[in-house]
Chain A
Amino acid sequence: MLKFMLATSAIALALGAPARADFWSDAGAKYQGVTIRGVSESTPPSNYVKDVLAPQFTEKTGIVVEFETTSWDQMFDKAIKDMEANSGIYDFVYIEQDIIYSYLARDFLVDITQTLKDNPDLQAPDFKFEEFTTFIDNFRGENGNIFGVPMEAFIKVYLYRKDLFEDPAHIEAFKAKYGYDLAPATTFQQWRDNAEYFANLSQDDELWGTTVQASSGHPAAFYEFFESIAPTYGVYDWGIDGTTYAASVDKGGRMNSPEAKEALKFWVGLLEFAPPEATASTWDEVASTFAAGRAAQGWVYGENAAWIATNPEKSTVVGKVGVALPPMVEGVMEAAEKGEGYIGYYDGGAFGIPHSSKNKEAAVLWLEFIGQASVQADWAVAGSRVVHQATYDDPKVQEVNAKADGYFDLMRDKGYLFKGAPEYPFHAQVREVVAPFIYEAIVGTMTPEDALDAAAAAADAELIKLGYAKE
């Protein structure tokens, strides 16, 4: 009888007790019906967040995510205005690696490490800072705490058309014209020759020699030159001295150094062999150009590598894509190996929470959700981005890696040779005064030499005005 009573009581207790849910529904219970709003650039990784991760999070927690994906300019414009005005429209914002220093300088962002320490009930079991790649270090404040949860990271690589470079007819014709073997470029001369050869194949075809991210009215051109081309000529950190903040050679900078001028001359010279849309191309158009089969080689943001190489609905060059490191002048690789330089651009971003957010706790849960190990592999396949070390070895990622000519392996093994933007709090301010001269060089209204002389002078003047450099 006693046994029967005990058993009955146990069953009654079990039935009466609330169902044991997972962490997300438990943690989200307090915030049921809350709507958190975010803004980011419309890119493959962001679109995956909007289309896949946000609905999953809402289903598990009951917290609604309104995620706006817009143009790069609009994203920063909206996020910065919101944070400056303290209006609290956004609960999470995209923080590109290069803007984090400006945001930290203005104290825009919530300290996520501290928030989790202060609210242990918000700590998700599957979210650990130590699982991220070293890219997360870009989002640490002076106290070493994390202010942004990485959501994308990729390197800007040299993509080339394997089918063209391995075609015996092209190999023979190229050798006959240039006297050496056709191959993916390892020197700038080779890049130029490859570009010239493919651009001049036929007047009627739709194939050009190279992509160039040379929009003559958009900062994308500034970024390609200063973050991808100039470093391969040994000009780092935009040519601005990191201690004195001088840009011109006269003051100790390198923005208008002979190496920088040579780099700009080479890059602008490629426009002769680039498709007509090159001068209207940002990073998106460069990827589209390559995916449309309109260029034989080019610098392409890695976030596009996977879809270009594997998605036949969007790309005409599936199975034809080769990936390699960009060419560089002598000494740059050695400097990069020693950590004294870098060979190209390591880009990426995180989601951070503005101080102005009215739903910080719900936003923290959201950032943990997207930072879990379990969501990383599918996201990497969709957007060629990796922020967790373990993602590289996931079978799904390895499958895409094989089709994308080892892009993920290259990023894992050689990623340390690349670097993001310099840690300047005056990022947009200097870019805005320098970029117009890069546009002038693209259009041809200034020579590359004059453009960089003027750019360096303008950067010096701006840095003095901002109070960072001395007269």
Chain B
Amino acid sequence: MDILLLVSIAQSILAATWRMATPLIYTAIGEIFTERSGVINIGLEGIMLIGALSGYVVTSYTDSLFLGISSAVLSGIISGLLFSLFTVTIKANQIVVGAAFNMIGTGLTGFIYRTLYSGGSTDKLVLDTFPSIKIPLLSDIPFFGEILFQQNLMVYATVVLVPLAAFILSKTAFGLYVKAVGEHPKAADTSGINVTLIRYISTTIGATLAALGGAYLSMAHANQFVEGIATGRGFIALAVVVFGRWSPWGAMGASLLFGVFYALQLRLQAMSGNVIPYQFLQVLPYLATLIVLVSLKGRGAEPKALGKPYKA
């Protein structure tokens, strides 16, 4: 196989990598905030679906991507507040509430989607998505141009999101509070930090970013909502948080790693003369992430109070 062909294949795989990693980055970064504050939200899949649907519905009725994104954010805030109400205030078991969110998210979005769109005209079904923005000059750079500088706004936003999240967590007072509450809520409480408030805020940030991750799928990658569109990404994001050791940069790395192998396996399937069974190729992203996790030995960074409701 000649070099030029290989380069072009690598180029399209890498461009796909970032697109496939984006929803994971959003959702995982959000979950890092949630978990760092000591709350575990396994309802990400459901919240992604809720975000995907609300963004899609509002965009399809108003033709405004801005309003669509805003409504996805709003749906994330509502989900986050609800989740906090049950887990922080009422102190219900976080895993159970998370599981409930997954079921509600799947059922509710399916129900609303069918109610609004069944039997109606189909012309409304397809959205004009975020267009890919070619950054002048940079997008003409050979090889890297297409990978890095011809994506859409929501993909570019991850470049801001990750350092911002890292900065907030490590350099701001709020970040310190979040970590304190997640490590030792009693001590944090004694020193005057409002544990409940911090957990509410962190959980809501988490849910909002998960909703955005979902909205990316229905508004910026695909151009429509389909039932179950998240297809397990909410659960993969949960794993990404652990693989990334609760650090935004780590989560980004894990998401990209997952993305590159996902893009690679699709490409391998599509290549002519592929004889490897597709079931094996589909395992690749999971296998690769697992291997990296095992080989990257290091201290665990799991928040000590993770999953434990705080009783003052």
Indicate, yes or no, whether A interacts with B.
Answer: no
Interface residues of B (CB under 8 A from A): none
